[in-house]
Amino acid sequence: MRETWVALSAVEAVVVTGATAYLVFYSWKHGSELKIFVLGFLVLTLRALLHLVTPPEGMYRLLHGFWVPVLDQALLTLALILISYALLYPLFPSYRQPIRWILGNNLVFLLFLSFVVGYDYSTQWRPRTQFLTHWGSLAFGVYQISLLLLILVTTLYVYQKGKSRSLLFTAIAFAVWTLASGIRLWLGLVGSPLIRNWGRFIRGGDMLAQLILVGASTISDPARQTFAQRYFADARAAVADLRARLDEVAAAKALLEERQRLARELHDSVSQALFSLELNLSTAEMLLEDDPDQVLRLVEKSRRTAHEALKDLRALIADLRPPALAGKSILSALQDLASSLESDGITIQVEGETGRPLPESEEAELYRIAYEAINNAIKHSQASTVSVRVLVDGSSFELTVSDDGVGFDPAMRREGAWGLIGMRERAEKLGAELKIESRMGEGTRIIVRRRS
């Protein structure tokens, strides 16, 4: 019996070592993602070599002691954890993070179980052939059966979806391995010494399963490679549809916010100007016979009010359809904007350099940021001069709008400061940085910058 067992240990060492060497060569030659799988077989090789040099079945009996049976079971369990992870990881790309979490927890539990069993087993030495009667071996056996059943059920489930040959061979390998491990666990439960009963069949089943598994992992099988893409096609389509719906909601929200902003602008500028114009003309009508000079002054004031209202209305129209969308460069568009917004009390200076132009949609967003910044300076800063500088070169740009007005405290949150909020949102949409520099009495400078 012992000679048969020694020969079996030698065959196991040769077979597992050869299978591992073949996997290493295959992975190196084909660039296959088998690193974790190969690592699992390296652990199986260490276990086979352990069998070869430990009593009673080993050829050389170089190793002995209470820790040998614990190490044997721990190495087998570690190999099963690594192989299970290597097989599950590429099949479920959408669940890689949970699979990594499961791997980490299994490794921690393996270390804990090995420590507890080894510590308990060291208190009373038993020969290796009686290790199966120890509770630690049963704990390892239950753990191994759980891992084997998990990968077997998963492989069969995936095979139903993909009908892959390699998955079929993988399922056969794990079915054989589960059967062998089940017999080992049953022997432990009944307290039967492994070396006198089914040991040869168990070791033979392990080796057969490992050889089938090597073949299944290296077989050329397009069905296995495309399983994840096919199986998760519906999920990806659902995600794409959800993203499209979210984009539609975002676009509708942006449109609503733009309408609300325009309503505020029309109310604050054009509507107020028209109300003032109506009031002036009504007063002039009442004074037409009694005070002609006052009527002339009211008419002149009304003319200026109408001019301001017209200028505000043109600016709003330009904001809705910026000149940048009409084939002009951003610099030319801002120069036209400055001309339309200038008045007797304020000067707007525009300068800059343009190299390779931005995409038209990005120029429109940058133009709207500049419009909002200039408009805020005109309405709120009490400035006499607004300076605009724009530099554009391909994907890089820098826009600076500064004024010599009264300034403000950027840290203070002002109710209804929709202009600043809109500028920040547009800058984020462009992937640019927006910086506001201002102090009370020292003017304001707004910088929008994006580097390539």
> Mind listing the domains of the chain with CATH numbers?
2-231 (1.20.1070), 232-320 (1.20.5), 328-452 (3.30.565.10)
The per-residue pLDDT for range 134-193, each reduced to its tens digit, is 666 778 888 888 888 888 888 888 777 666 777 788 888 889 988 988 887 887 777 665
Rounded Cα distance, 203 and 180, in Å: 8
Q: What is the pLDDT of residue 31?
A: 64
Q: What is the pLDDT of residue 328?
A: 76
Q: Cis peptide leading into 56, omega within 30 of 0? A: yes
Q: What is the pLDDT of residue 448?
A: 94
The per-residue pLDDT for range 217-256, each reduced to its tens digit, is 777 655 555 555 555 565 667 777 888 888 888 778 877 7
Each residue's pLDDT, cut to its tens digit, for the chain (452 residues) gives 567 767 777 888 888 888 888 888 887 876 666 788 888 889 888 888 887 888 666 666 666 666 777 787 888 888 888 888 887 777 666 667 777 787 788 888 888 887 777 766 666 555 544 555 566 677 888 888 888 888 888 888 877 766 677 778 888 888 998 898 888 788 777 766 555 567 777 878 888 888 888 887 777 655 555 555 555 565 667 777 888 888 888 778 877 777 776 776 666 667 767 777 787 788 888 887 778 888 888 888 888 778 777 777 776 766 665 554 566 788 888 888 788 777 667 888 999 988 888 887 788 888 888 888 888 888 788 888 999 999 988 889 999 999 998 888 777 755 545 677 778 888 888 889 999 998 888 889 999 999 87
Percent of the chain with pLDDT over 90: 6
For the chain, what is the HEC assignment?
CHHHHHHHHHHHHHHHHHHHHHHHHHHHHHCCCCHHHHHHHHHHHHHHHHHHCCCCCCCCCCCCCCHHHHHHHHHHHHHHHHHHHHHHCCCCHHHHHHHHHHHHHHHHHHHHHHHHHHHHHCCCCCCHHHHHHCHHHHHHHHHHHHHHHHHHHHHHHHHHHHCCHHHHHHHHHHHHHHHHHHHHHHHHHHCCCHHHCCHHHHHHHHHHHHHHHHHHHHCCCHHHHCHHHHHCHHHHHHHHHHHHHHHHHHHHHHHHHHHHHHHHHHHHHHHHHHHHHHHHHHHHHHCCCCCHHHHHHHHHHHHHHHHHHHHHHHHHHHHHCCHHHHCCCHHHHHHHHHHHHCECCEEEEEEEEECCCCCHHHHHHHHHHHHHHHHHHHHHCCCCEEEEEEEEECCEEEEEEEECCCCCCCCCCCCCCHHHHHHHHHHHHHCCEEEEEECCCCCEEEEEEECC
Q: How many residues does the chain have?
A: 452
Q: What is the pLDDT of residue 128?
A: 47
Q: What is the pLDDT of residue 287?
A: 80
Q: What is the pLDDT of residue 129?
A: 46
Q: What is the pLDDT of residue 449?
A: 93
Q: What is the pLDDT of residue 93?
A: 64
